[in-house]
Amino acid sequence: MEIYLDNAATSMIDPRVSTAMLSCHDMKAMNASSAHKLGVVAATAIEKARAAIAREINAEPQELIFTSGGTESNNLALKGIAFANRERGKHIIVSQIEHMSIMETAKWLERQGFEITYLPVDREGFVSPSDVQKAIKRGTILVSIIHANNEIGTIEPIAEIGTICKSKKVYFHSDACQSFTREEIDVKSQNLDLVSLNAHKIHGPKGIGALYVRKTAKIEPLLHGGGQEGGRRSGTYNVEGIVGFGKAAEIAGEVDIKRLAELRDYFIQKIQSSIEKVDLNGPRIKRLCNNINLRFRSVNGQSLSRELSEKNIYVSAGSACLSTKVTPSHVLLAIGLEPERAQEAIRISLSRWTTLEEVDVVVQSLSEIVRRSREGG
């Protein structure tokens, strides 16, 4: 029996998504930029997918740019806005708990002469809207705040932040790769100018994502070439990936978010009642429905993850492996954990297929491993 609980890293493709993608293979060679009949078929399939994804965030289809995934979307959002608007200013605001594709892009922009403010968060990972307001100054061109944190599941107050940014005439971007289809995203009511999305977190294929860009936003492309996506992102279309993304978005509404949240809460309650000295990282409420991040005191998260893997239970540790060096998670450090405490964490992320029986098996396995580890065996 295999139990996969690492869905925040990537999720298994829904069979209906695979079927939709395979239908593209049956259409022979297709380049959506070609003017012939096969090209038109491909272009039509792309626009159907674009419309399905746009509906999920209340956007206009033409405001979506297809990318290779969340990392490219985040890079395009920050670099594209920065270089297209640098005559207005060079100040950008991000939080201290952004995905690494935001953090590393921000560091790169600093080396190009931009000023970056890294906003702190509280012990549950929340960004304060008042801190955002205070940080905005003359020359601020962009605020980027993750919607739901990929490690600890904190759902940020993006509607409040969006209102502030709109009043200050500052672009507002949110990385919504974890929250897409799990939390409400309405680019109009939440005053979002840019939103990063991807497919493989919602049971779609890897290697395909999208960036919503409000039609009034001024953005510089990263990739130049044939002028695809209205000149905003050149490159031959990944037709199969886009069709798969569209299908995943189309069927995402079938996921019972309430059931996932109840299963998440059951897991947390059962773990904390079964094992002593277990702490929840992140909030109990305003938390992503499928996210659980736990710290088992005096037990190394990497070791715990490896032992679970030997039992065919797959989770991720709360620290990141960089080459051969293990470094504590920047997110856990930002919420106030000491480095040694941060390395005691594991992240468990549920999917539409996770069952109560699987949760009970994982809790039992964790109890055995933690007890043995603490006893020195």
Question: Do residues 283 and 154 make contact, with C-beta atoms less than 8 angstroms apart?
Answer: yes
DSSP 109-138: HHHTT-EEEEE---TT-PPPHHHHHHH--T
Give φ, ψ of 8 to 5 degrees.
-75, -20
- Spell out the CATH class of 15-252: alpha beta
Angle between helices 70-84 and 100-111 (to 10 degrees): 30
With 0.75 as the threshold, say if the pTM is over it: yes
Q: Which of 24, 177, 289, 321 is catalytic?
A: 321
Domain 256-374 is classified in which CATH homologous superfamily? Answer: Aspartate Aminotransferase, domain 1 (3.90.1150.10)
SS3 98: coil
Alpha-carbon distances, residue 88 vs 84, 219, 347 (angstroms): 9, 13, 41
Q: What is the pLDDT along the chain (377 residues), one digit of tens a residue?
A: 899 999 999 999 999 999 999 988 766 556 665 656 666 788 889 999 999 999 999 999 999 999 999 999 999 999 999 999 999 999 999 999 999 999 999 999 999 999 999 999 999 999 999 999 999 999 999 999 999 999 999 999 999 999 999 999 999 999 999 999 999 999 999 999 999 999 999 999 999 999 999 999 999 999 999 999 999 999 999 999 999 999 999 999 888 999 999 999 999 999 999 999 999 999 999 999 999 999 999 999 999 999 999 999 999 996 444 434 578 999 999 999 999 999 999 999 999 999 999 999 999 999 999 999 999 85
Quote the CA–CA distance of 142 and 148 in Å, as a whole number. 19
Quote the CA–CA distance of 119 and 35 in Å, as a whole number. 48
Question: Do residues 315 and 307 make contact, with C-beta atoms less than 8 angstroms apart?
Answer: no
Q: Which two tokens stand for residue 346?
A: 């594991």
C-alpha angle with apex 359: 358 to 361, nearest 5 degrees? 65
Quote the CA–CA distance of 33 and 42 in Å, as a whole number. 8
Q: How do the domains of the chain map onto residue ranges?
A: 15-252, 256-374
CA–chain centroid gap for 341, Å, is 24
Active site annotation includes 289? no
Quote the CA–CA distance of 115 and 112 in Å, as a whole number. 9
- List the beta bridge partners of residue 340: none
Pairing of strands 115-119, 291-296: unpaired
Quote the CA–CA distance of 13 and 352 in Å, as a whole number. 11
